[in-house]
Homo-oligomer: A and B are copies of this chain.
Amino acid sequence: MKTYGEYCPVAKAAEVLGDRWTLLIVRDMLFGPIGFNELARGLPGISRGVLSARIRHLQRLGLVERPDSGVGYQLSGPGRHLTDVVRVLGDWAARWIIDDPTQAELDPDLLVLWISRHLAADQLPTQKAVVAFERSGPRPGRLWLVLDPGGGSICHEDPGLDPARYVYLRGQTAALYRVYMGRSSLADERSTGQVQLSGTPALIHALPTWFTWSNFAPTVRAAAAA
């Protein structure tokens, strides 16, 4: 990283975190240990070379380390203290900057990935259940999120489980992004028909309890209320 040559903590922080992608890598490591390819998947557009260089740089600074398991990476003690930094940056942008998503930002894979990273661990179905995301609009497509008490996993093909364990979530990607970011609620989007749930009634009823949505949704809601 280019330095500033200033003996100032703000300049130091900018040197450490100011490289392109670095802050987003830290953000994605805040959820716990994560592998190289999983990081790459969550950062569309990053090249493998850059991701590799960033991780090595963060390791050299002592902010990222190998987990005891030896696979993937995790934040070190000092790195975990970046939680506050990421939260404050995100809260600021959620309050003052963020608008509706642009067309280019409507990445359905990323959305489902993020949704799958924000699950209510204690509310998940005791028996495997499948949320089938079906997006309408310009580029229709499907994704399946398989949930069990241990968490969720994303499939690009129908996992082919018991049909009674499916719930279908249909709508435009933009509508689901709004729900995720706290610009609207699932209930609102359902009542306006932007998002439709179908499938097993018990699962339709339970689905809203599974997702906790974006960490910044409360701030977005507070900003909208102000």
Chain B residues, CB < 8 A from A160: none
Bound Cα distance from A110 to B81, whole angstroms: 29
Once the chains bind, are B91 and A88 in contact (CB under 8 Å)?
no
Instruction: Please tell me which stretch of A15-23, A49-57, A196-204 contacts chain B, meaning at least 4 of its Cβ atoms lie within 8 angstroms of it.
Output: A15-23
The one of B7, B93, B95 in contact with A105, judged by C-beta atoms closer than 8 angstroms, is: B7
Contact with B along A62-83 (1 / 0, CB 8 A): 0000000000000000100110
Bound Cα distance from A7 to B5, whole angstroms: 33
Tell yes or no: A107 within 8 A of B by CB.
Answer: yes
Tell yes or no: A118 within 8 A of B by CB.
Answer: no
Once the chains bind, are B20 and A2 in contact (CB under 8 Å)?
yes
A4-B45, A104-B5 as given contacts; A90 in contact with B10, CB under 8 Å: yes
Pick the most buried of A5, A82, A86, A94: most chain B CB atoms within 10 A of its CB.
Answer: A5
Tell yes or no: A181 within 8 A of B by CB.
Answer: yes
Tell yes or no: A157 within 8 A of B by CB.
Answer: no
Bound Cα distance from A91 to B83, whole angstroms: 13
The one of B6, B8, B90, B105 in contact with A13, judged by C-beta atoms closer than 8 angstroms, is: B90
Given contacts A9-B89, A17-B89, 11 further A-B contacts (CB under 8 A): A4-B24, A5-B107, A8-B27, A9-B93, A9-B219, A13-B93, A16-B97, A78-B96, A81-B92, A81-B96, A85-B92
